[in-house]
Structure formats: C-alpha cells, structure tokens
Structure 1
Amino acid sequence: MRLLNFSLRNFLLYSFILVLVTIPISFVAIHTILEDEVDETLLAQHDQFVKHIRSFEYLDDLEFDLEVFEQLSYDVDIVQDSFPRSGIQYSTVFIYDSLDQETKPYRELRSSIIVKGHPYLLTTRLSLLENDDLVTAIVTVVVALLVLLTIGMILINSSLSQRIWQPFYKTLNRLKAYELDKNESFEFEQTEIIEFDDLNNAVRQLTDRNKQVFIQQKEFIENASHELQTPLAIFQVKLDALMQSRQLTEEQAGLVKDMLETNQRLSRLNKNLLLLSKIENDQFQEREQVDLKPILLKQLENFSLLTSNMAVHARHDISACTIYANRILTEVLITNLVGNAYQHTHDEGEVIVQLAADRLTVANTGKPLTIAPDRIFERFNKASKPGKGVGLGLAIVKQICDHAGHTVQYTYTDNRHYFTVYFNDQIKSSR
C-alpha cells in the first residue's frame, strides 16, 4: 500500500496548500468586490446630493443651510474649501463611535464642488462594518466548503485507489509468498483492468519459465549425482586394490593415497549435492518424534574416536530434548555441526556442545572468519581450510533448518565460533 499512501500524502499536502492559498485569495477577492460595490453606492449618493444642491442654488441662504446640514448629518460632510480640487478620491478611514465606544471602519468619497461660486469639499461615507462581517461570513463558508470538499475527495480517492490497486497488491503478495522450489501453480484472477491483466500474464509466463529451468537444474543435479555414484565406487575399489599391490614404490603409493583421498572427497561432494537436491525437492516429508540426546552422544563418541590422534578437548552439557522432525535430516544436521566443529578446531583446541530444551549450541575455538559472517552458510564458501570439508556442510545445515522451520545463528565470541540452532514450537518434550 506504499504507492497508495504516497498518493494520499501528496493529495493531503496539495489540498492543505490549496486551502491555505484559497483563504487569503478569497478574502481579498470578496473584500475587493464589496468595496467596489460600496464605491458605486457612494458615487451614486454623491451625484444625487450634488444634483439636489444644484436644484436649490437659487436660495439666498443656501450656504447657511449647508452649514446646518453639515452639523446635523453624520454620513455627509460639506465644508468650504480654500481652493477647488480635481477628481474624486476614495479612502478607507476609521472613526470613533461615541455611542458604541469603539472605532469603526468607513469608506469615504471626497470631491470638490462649486456652490454659488465658492469651492466646497463634499465628503460622503458608508460604514464597512456590515461588509466586514459579510466578508468574514462568506470566507468562512468558502473555507468550510473547501474543507468538506477536500475530505470528500480524500475519501473518494482512498476508496477508488484501494479498489483500483487491489489486483496489483494481490499480485504483489502472491509474488512475495511464491517459492520457486514449491510445486504450486501461479494463477491470477481476471480483473477489469487491461494493464493489470497484462502484468499478471507476464508474471505468469516469467514464473513458469523460471520454474521449468529450476526443475531442469534440480533434475540434472540429481541425475548427475546418481550417475556419478557407480563410477566413483568402481574407482574407489580399483584404487583400494592398487593400494594392496606389493609392486608399488613408496612414491607411487603416495600418489595412490592422494587419489584415494580425492576420490573420497568427490564421493562426499556427490552425496551432499544429492542430499541438497532431495531437500530442495521436498523428499523428506516424513516427520516423527526425534530424541536428540542419544543421537548427539553417539556422534560425539564417533568423532572423538576419529580425532583421537588430535589434542582436542571436548566438553558437553546435554539435556533430554525431543523434537518433531525428519529423523534422517536431524541426524545429518547434528553430524555436520559436530563434524564442522572438530574439523576446524586446531590442536589443543576445544569443542563445546550444549543441548537445552529449545536449542542446540556447538562451539569450537578458532581464528576469526576471513569472510563476512552472513556468508558462512553459503555453498562453497572460502572460509574452510584447504583439504577440510567440501564447502557444503554448513549450507546443508542451513537448508535443513529452513526445511524444518528451525533457526540457525552464527556468532564469534571469545575466540570461539558458536553455531546455535533454535528449534521451532513443535517441541514435544524437554528436561
């Protein structure tokens, strides 16, 4: 929903800016319009007053009457001026009202008129108080309408966006949950939007091609591993027979020994590749209650016998723990973790194994990694010593944990490499 949220944020921002800009513009525009109306009214009153004066110029005491009128009138002032002025002047003034005891705004029109040959300054005015109230009311209504319109547009935009983009997010969620190694079809619902239908068709074709290539690669690895088993076994037998020959010189025996070790390494590599292929093909679906304690003790005993010529100190703290998993993969998991610890521990080093109710920890002393810690579980990484392992042991551990739902974690503390497997919530019993 990021795109939708981004669009809503932009719409809200633009709406807020629009309201902020509209308020002063509306106020100025309405105020200007009303001010023009007031000026027209003042001009009409001015012309009407001048017309009346012209009609009474024959009176001898007109000047006295104008003085009396000026004293009595509040909205019209007419006083003698020293010299005539040209044109009409409009202005806004503030006059103190003694009755209401407050200052009020007025709009004034000033012009010079000649009465019986004498210049007079005629001032007519109208109160702007009602106009200001009217402007405030109109602006308030306009702002309220803008706010309601904005809210309505937001709701409509949100509803339409969610409806329009719903097929896209369905496709996106399907892609996020899609696993290439799972045998599942990638079908989409038909939408009413041509662009999304084209997108779904393109995604379907892409996933089908990738799935086909993936299946072909897995089949090739599995077939190649199967085909290699027989020639490797025959090669092993012939090398063993050659090793028993009395006609071999010491140099030739050394070469045959190296060939035997290489062949054994190839056999382990072939078996590991085949195991990885089977795990990825989900061929280990059988699950049962597996007691880890006897398996772990047996593996420790085996490795202690195999490494009896090495000065490796081993200590363990093993509690009873039963998990619900595939037995074969669980045994491979323990074998690879313990074997990795023994293989990469130098002389006078230490191997530590701890089995708790919810985790298995295998640690060994050693130098820091030469690669990034997050690459320790990659296939054929370069962290192994030459001649030790085939680069697939920890990759198989990671694959088994992913298959079983466990979590494996690597840390390096106090010159020790720690591999910890956290079992899932399918634990059946513990100490």
Structure 2
Amino acid sequence: MLILLLGGILFYVLFNYIIDRNIRSTLYERRDFAREKLAFSDSLYVFQNFSYHIFSIKRLPKEYPFTVTEQISDTAIFDPLRKEASLYRQLTFTDNLRGQPFQITVRRPLIDDFEILRGIVASLLVLAMVLGLALYFSNRIVSKKLWQPFYITLSTLKDYQLDERIEPQFPKTNVREFNELIEAVTRLIERTRRDYLNLKEYSENTTHEIQTPLAIIQSKLELLQEHDLSIEQLQLVNAANLAVSRLARLKETLLLLVRIKNNQYIDAQPVEVAKLIASRLAYFEELMEMKQIRLSKQLDEQAKLLINLPVAEILVDNLISNAIKYNIPGGELTLELTNTMLRIRNNGKAPTKPTSTFFNRFVKSDSNSRSLGLGLSIVKAICETNQLSVEYHYQDNYHQISIYFPGQ
C-alpha cells in the first residue's frame, strides 16, 4: 500500500508534466500553423467562426506600436454544448505578416486537476483490489503447496503415541528448513521414545519385583499373628501390616497415575454419566450409612462424556470417596450433573492449605489421615488427558469440586 501511495503521487506529478509538455508542444505547432496560413491569406478568419475556442485572430492598426511578444496563460470559455465553462491553456502572440500586425491566440483544452486526481485514485483503488486479490489467492495456492510438508509433519506428531512400535513417517521435501525441522524432530522422538521405554520397563519390573516381597512380608506377618504374642508385639505386627498394605496401595496408585498421564487409556466411548454415578454410589452406601451422610443429587440423564469407561469409573470413585472420607458425621453430600459440568459438594473442616495445592501428589488436608494424598492427583491427571477442566473451592463450610466438560 505504501508503494502504491508513493507510486500514485509520482504518477500524478509525471502525468501533469507530460500533459503540460504536450499542451505546450501543441500550442507552438498551432502558432506556427497560424503564422504559415496568415503569411499567404486571410482564410483563418473564416475558420475562426467555427473554431473560436481554438483560434482567435485580431488585426491590429498599422500604426500600432508593434513588438513581437508571446504569453501563455489559462482561461475559461463557455461551452454551449456542455453548458458550462471549460478550462483552456492559450498562447497569445503578436506578429507582422504581409505588412499587417496581428494578435493571434491559439488554445487547447485542459484537464481539470481534480479530474486527474480522481481518475488516478480510482485507478489505484482498482489496482490495489486486484493486486490484493491476486496476492491472496496466489499466496493461498503457493502456501498450501509449500507448507504441505509442515502440516503433514504436524499431523503425524499429533497422532503419534510413544508406546507405538511403528516409527513415524515424515514427508520428503526440497525445503531445507523443513528437512532440518524433520531431522531435529526425528532425533527428539528417538531420544524420548528410548527414555520412555526404559522408564516403562523399569516401572513394570519394579512393580513386578516389589509385589513378591510384599506378599512374603504379609504372609510372614500373618504367621506371626498366629503365635502367642504380647500386646506390644501384636501392636508392632499390626503397624508393620498397615505399612505393608499402605505400600501395596501406593504402588498400585502410582502405577495407575503414571498410566493415566501417559494416556494409555485411549479407547474413548460415549459414557452416560448419570448411570455411571448411580452404579458407583451403590459401592459407597454402607460407608455413607456409617457416617450418616445425607445424599442429594440432581442428575441430567442426557449428559454424556466421551471418555474411557474404566477411567470414568476411577474419576467418579475418587470424587465420591474423597467427599465421603473428608465429610463430617451427619454431613451432606450433593451431586449435580448437567450436560456441561459435574459438581460435588460436601461438608468438611476448613482446609489448612490452599485448595489448589490438593491436586499435587501426597498433599493432604489432614496430616494424620491414612490417605495416600493421591486421589485428587488422579482426578487432575484424568481431567488433563481428557480435555476436562477442574476447580476446587471451599466456601460456607462446603468443599466443592467442579469438573467442566470439553468446550464449556
């Protein structure tokens, strides 16, 4: 646009210069033509009657103090056809022809500067529009072809899973920058996949190897309990048994958290959330009766969520379990489900830490609790891998966790 603007100004100046030079050249030609004709006859007087706006000839008295002069000026002459005054540039000169002094005026019509400017502006606007459209469509065509390897590479990266044994196939291209990008991405994937497989193998081996000694320890502790032990010895055995059970649960929970974060549960399907909640609540009926918790629910039967079913069960179980575990005896548990969100509210003590920290691993509101502090970490991991957003608030003696579905 800047080039067009500067070009328009230059074109206006150049156009005016060319027109002015052309008009002057025409006026001088007509001057020479008039001198040539008047040198032989007075025929131009007849022609003047039909072209007064081009020629104007006047005889001067012979005693007129004659000097050869020339003057160029602009004038306006009424045009009877257009019924308006038109601009002319005229050359007025005096000459002595055949012993008779004459005053001769030759004219040529001018183009109004405003008309020139308006024509140039209109031409530039049309040119800008045509140029803009041409650039837009040509850029789209060229860019679509030029950037095709980039978008194919991007799509391949989005669909690639680290646990796949098939190496990603990237397109071949003549663009040096894209080739460098593909080489760098390929090296990064190789390093990441190697580290991932090593870590996965280590986790699986560790999990498998820990399982056997845990089972042996538990069986030995059970055998010890069959012997006649003192109260102090029984307390020690019970404490060891609780520690072993905690370690076993910790192993399983951490393994589950790693699998969720590695997005190993990818078989998503439409889940009817209301039916899922109703089925999972049945597992917690006795626990709610023991704590005399009042249950109230408002469930939209049409609400659906695209998620892996086992993962959805883990999510709901953790939310309900957390709401019961940290509820007060005789407290209230409220479940609200719409097509945009799931909200769980329960009574409970005021948290001693910011609620946002409860999504971190091993963070508990009560340090004396036997909980592992991983329930909300699992909830957060499930939400992140399924494009859900989760919020935790405490207000008016109520803990409230809200999960918003994708696109909401």
Taking a change above 3 Å as real, the CA distance of residues 219 and 30 of structure 1, as seen in their structure-2 partners, is same
Q: What residue in structure 2 maps to residue 3 of structure 1?
A: none
Paired letter, 1:313: I
Equivalent position of 2:230 in the other structure: 246
Q: Is the 1:336–1:394 Cα contact (8 Å) retained in structure 2?
A: yes
2-structure distance, mates of 1:259, 1:185 = 47
Cα contact 2:362–2:373 (8 A) shared by 1: yes
Higher relative contact order (CA 8 A, sep 6+): 1
Determine the C-alpha separation between the residues in 2 that align with 1:329 and 1:165.
38
Q: Tell me the equivalent position of 2:366.
A: 385
Secondary structure in 2 aligned to 1:380? coil
Aligned position for 1:5:
none
Select 1:171's aligned residue among 136, 147, 153: 153
CA apart distance, 1:267: 3.1
TM-superposition CA deviations, 1:270-294 (whole Å, max 9, x none): 1211223455473797999996645
> What amino acid is the match of 1:103?
A
State the alpha-carbon separation in 2 of the partners of residues 80 and 262 from structure 1. 133
Deviation at 1:258, TM superposition (A): 6.4
Cα distance in 1 between the residues matched to 2:184 and 2:143: 23
Deviation at residue 230 of structure 1 after TM alignment = 3.8
TM-score by length of 2: 0.69
SS in 1 for 2:147: helix
Select which of 191, 194, 214 maps to 2:173. 191
Equivalent of residue 250 in structure 2, options 266, 269, 276: 269
The aligned amino acid for 2:30 is: Q
1:338 aligns with 2:323: no
- Number of the residue aligned with 1:39: 24
Q: Secondary structure at the match of 2:173?
A: coil
1:397 to 340, 361, 379: 379
Report the equivalent of 2:295.
315
Deviation digits for residues 143-172 of structure 1 (CA, Å, limit 9, x no counterpart): 756654553343323211211112212222
User: In 2, Cα distance between the equivalents of 1:264 and 1:409?
Assistant: 30
* Pairing 1:410-429 to 2, within 5 Å after superposition: 410-412=391-393, 414-419=396-401
Write the distance in 2 (CA, Å) between the matches of 1:329 and 1:70.
104
- Alignment CA distance shift 1:130-1:267 (3 Å): closer
Residues 355 and 149 of structure 1, relative CA distance in 2, 3 Å threshold = closer
Worse-matched range after superposition: 213-222 or 406-415: 406-415
Deviation at 1:49, TM superposition (A): 3.6
Kindly indicate whether residue 106 of structure 2 is the aligned counterpart of residue 124 of structure 1. yes
CA offsets per residue over residues 289-323 of structure 1, 9 Å max, x none?
99664542222314654xx5xxx633244989899
State the match for 2:202 in structure 1. Answer: 220
Cα distance in 1 between the residues matched to 2:59 and 2:242: 126
Q: 1:351 to 1:85 in 2, by over 3 A?
A: farther
Aligned with residue 96 of structure 1, among 78, 87, 90: 78
2:281 pairs with 1:296: yes
- In the alignment of these two chains, the number of paired residues is 390
Structure 2 residue corresponding to 1:159, chosen from 136, 141, 150: 141
CA distance in 2, matches of 1:144, 1:99: 32
- The equivalent residue for 1:428 is none
CA contact (8 A) 1:83 1:119 kept: no
Other-structure match for 1:11: none
* Residues 408-427 of structure 1, C-alpha deviations (whole Å, 9 max, x = no match): 74453654333466899xxx
**In structure 1, how many angstroms separate the alpha carbons of the residues matched to 2:258 and 2:127?**
66
Q: What is the CA-CA distance between 1:380 and the residue it aligns to?
A: 0.7
Q: Distance in 2 between matches of 1:383 and 1:112?
A: 112
Q: 1:152 to 1:51 in 2, by over 3 A?
A: same
1:411–1:90 Cα change, 3 Å: farther
Q: In structure 1, what is the Cα distance between the partners aligned to 2:145 and 2:218?
A: 66
Deviation of residue 103 (structure 1)?
0.6
Task: Determine if contact 1:80/1:121 at 8 Å carries over to the other structure.
Answer: yes
Comparing 187-196 with 208-217, greater Cα deviation is found at 187-196
What's the secondary structure of 1:341's corresponding residue?
A: helix
Alpha-carbon separation, structure 2, partners of 1:130 and 1:395:
79
Deviations 1:171-197 (A, max 9, x none): 223334444456664211223434323
Question: Taking structure 1 as reference, are residues 131 and 294 closer, same or farther at Cα in structure 2, changes over 3 Å only?
Answer: closer
Secondary structure of the 2:230 match is: coil
Greater Cα offset, 215-224 or 260-269: 260-269
Q: Are 2:276 and 2:313, in contact at CA under 8 Å, matched by a contact in 1?
A: no
Deviation at 1:39, TM superposition (A): 0.5
Query: Is the deviation greater in 32-41 or in 148-157?
Result: 148-157
Structure 1 residues 213-260: Cα deviation after superposition (integer angstroms, max 9, x where no partner): 1222222223223333344455556677499842849xx96x887666
Deviations 1:299-354 (A, max 9, x none): 2314654xx5xxx6332449898999877656544442222113333566433356
Contact 1:222 1:277 in 2 (8 A): no
Residue 106 of structure 1 and its aligned partner are, at CA, apart by 0.8
2:76 partner SS: strand
SS at match of 1:104: strand
CA distance in 2, matches of 1:155, 1:327: 47
Instruction: Select 2:333's aligned residue among 341, 351, 361.
Output: 351
Q: C-alpha separation between the residues in 1 aligned to 2:310 and 2:182?
A: 40
Cα separation, 1, equivalents of 2:95 and 2:159? 90
TM-score, reference length from structure 1: 0.66
Amino acid at match of 1:200: I
